[in-house]
């Protein structure tokens, strides 16, 4: 039997990082989290600072003792804010430090959509509108058609982390688009791993959330396909493809 992989996550500040030990326990893998810190405002200058090479290299150093098979920058806004090319440079720079397959949440969303063959989506963002628009532009550059985007206008990650299960469900159900093939919820500060099955049942379509796609992408990069229906369509159909 193959040894379960270790995937390391660089996570900004504190909000919904307990999604990772929850997933690790259910999937039977090791998902250590290292924290980096900055102002947790959902604002462009602060996000650019949060995702800087220096901060991410510090996070990689904290994870080194775990000997990870792959590393993820577990922050959507702190990656897409750089734009597609800048986000690619961000990941490439981080990979030079980690020495293992490395990616970020923004690319995890794109890869998840690609693997599932989904191109028409709705976005339910917790961010202010200007930041949410940058995510839409990032997806559009990858050939994804965003049919609708809603912005909850929450200014800090800490506030997002306080959202309860009922509020997360409400945001998703109220802001879905009937023609969308999937619903995306792009904030790793929002707890979603425990609600994915309910959301997909209520909406009747795949739901992709930041912590979900980040964990999936990290395991994919580590060459591990973990099937877990309670974590949504991505952890059923998406993991039949393994790594590439």
CATH number of the domain bearing residue 14: 3.40.50.12500
The number of folded domains in the chain is 2
Backbone angles phi, psi at 11, to 5 degrees: -120, 135
One digit per residue, pLDDT tens: the chain, 244 residues? Answer: 468 899 999 999 888 899 999 999 999 999 999 999 977 667 788 888 889 999 999 999 999 999 999 999 999 999 999 999 999 999 999 999 999 999 999 999 999 999 999 999 999 987 888 888 999 999 999 999 999 998 765 655 556 555 556 777 888 888 899 999 999 999 888 889 999 999 999 999 999 999 999 999 999 999 998 899 999 999 998 775 443 3
d(CA 98, CA 40): 24
In-domain check, residue 38: yes
d(CA 179, CA 159): 30
Backbone angles phi, psi at 103, to 5 degrees: -155, -170
Look up the domain containing 86 and give its range: 7-107+211-229
DSSP reduced 3-state for 192: coil
CA atoms within 13 A on the CB side of 23: 32
Read off the pTM.
0.92
């Amino acid at each position: 039997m193959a040894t379960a992989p270790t995937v390391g996550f660089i996570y900004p500040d504190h909000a919904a990082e307990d999604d990772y030990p929850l997933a690790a326990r259910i999937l039977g893998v090791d998902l250590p989290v290292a924290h980096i810190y900055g102002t947790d405002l959902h604002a462009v200058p602060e996000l650019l600072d949060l995702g800087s090479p220096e901060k991410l290299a510090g996070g990689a150093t904290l994870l080194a003792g775990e000997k990870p098979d792959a590393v993820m920058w577990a922050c959507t806004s702190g990656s897409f804010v750089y734009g597609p090319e800048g986000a690619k440079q961000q990941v490439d720079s981080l990979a030079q430090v980690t020495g293992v397959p490395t990616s970020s949440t923004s690319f995890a969303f794109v890869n998840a959509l690609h693997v599932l063959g989904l191109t028409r989506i709705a976005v339910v963002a917790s961010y202010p509108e200007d930041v949410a628009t940058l995510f839409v532009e990032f997806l559009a550059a990858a050939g994804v058609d965003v049919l609708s985007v809603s912005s909850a206008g929450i200014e800090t990650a800490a506030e997002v982390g306080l959202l309860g299960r009922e509020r997360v469900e409400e945001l998703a159900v109220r802001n879905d688009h009937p023609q969308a093939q999937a619903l995306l919820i792009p904030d790793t500060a929002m707890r979603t791993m425990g609600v994915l099955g309910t959301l997909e049942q209520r909406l009747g379509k795949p739901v992709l959330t930041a912590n979900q796609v980040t964990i999936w992408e990290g395991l994919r990069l580590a060459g591990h396909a973990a099937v877990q229906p309670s974590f949504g369509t991505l952890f059923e159909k998406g993991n039949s493809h393994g790594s590439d």
